Amino acid sequence: MSEKKTVDFGFKEVPWEEKVKHVKSVFDSVAEKYDLMNDVMSFGIHRLWKRFAIETAGVRPGMKVLDLAGGTGDLTRALARRVAPTGEVVLADINENMVNVGRRRLVDAGVAQWVDFTIANAEKLPFEDNAFDRVTIAFGLRNVTDKDAALAEMVRVLKPGGQALILEFSRVEQPLLAKAYDFYSFHILPRMGKTIANDEESYRYLAESIRKHPDQETLKAMMLDAGFDKAEYTNLSEGIVALHRGWKY
């Protein structure tokens, strides 16, 4: 009898088919406080990381953009303003609660007329081939069960000449910073989650999931293996976060 396939969920191993359920539970729990916690735990720096990704994407009026794991709509809001008045952004997320929060916020921001909201799994996207000029995913890839499948789907739905931008926590190389970052991640961050979001475990998972995510060079190689014609990355904040870019020619 073959062994049952497992996958990491933070530092734990869970059955392959159950990771989606576990991730959904985390984001069901944190959806309403998600943006507040991002500000607190990154000291607001996540906004600069996302702004860099948006500016690097080179989105123009009339483009069609897929914001994968778009959640509460941070990137979508900025992208929608850039594709207006003739383009469209599709906010796709596997978690309905996150999408509902995002929809409310984008309506309040006055950009919802340029946004389509879709519940979708990044591993099997409900879109035609060659449909999008850009694909973005910010802090979502590490939660995907089959990252290779998700990367291949990004390639499939991109138009020739398009590019994908993956903003994700990555590997800190500077030893002293890495040590301080580990202390913050495993000792301070869960306490913040408990105090602000009444959810210590979800933020402990966040810290663990970051450590299990592929490092910069590994993810670059995975992108090329998935079918991107070119891939590169830029480290931000000494590698706490990296922006990977993949092109389809």
93 is in an annotated binding site: yes
**Measuring CA to CA, which residue among 148, 185, 141 is closest to residue 167?**
141
19 vs 7: CA distance, rounded Å: 7
85 cis-preceded (ω within 30 degrees of 0): yes
122 is an annotated ligand-binding site residue: yes
Torsion sign over Cα 96, 87, 64, 216: negative
What's the CA gap between 87 and 147, in Å, rounded?
28
92 close to 68: Cβ distance less than 8 angstroms: yes
- Cα–Cα dist 2/227, whole Å: 30
Q: Is 195 annotated as a binding residue?
A: no
Q: How many DSSP H helices and E strands does the chain contain?
A: 10, 9
Cα angle for residues 17, 21, 22 (degrees, 5° grid): 105
Q: Name the DSSP class of 183.
A: H
Helix residue spans in the chain (DSSP H): 19-30, 34-42, 45-57, 74-83, 96-108, 147-157, 175-183, 189-196, 200-212, 216-226
Answer yes or no: is 221 a known binding residue. no
Q: Residues comprising the binding site?
A: 72, 93, 121-122
Q: Residues comprising the binding site for S-adenosyl-L-methionine?
A: 72, 93, 121-122
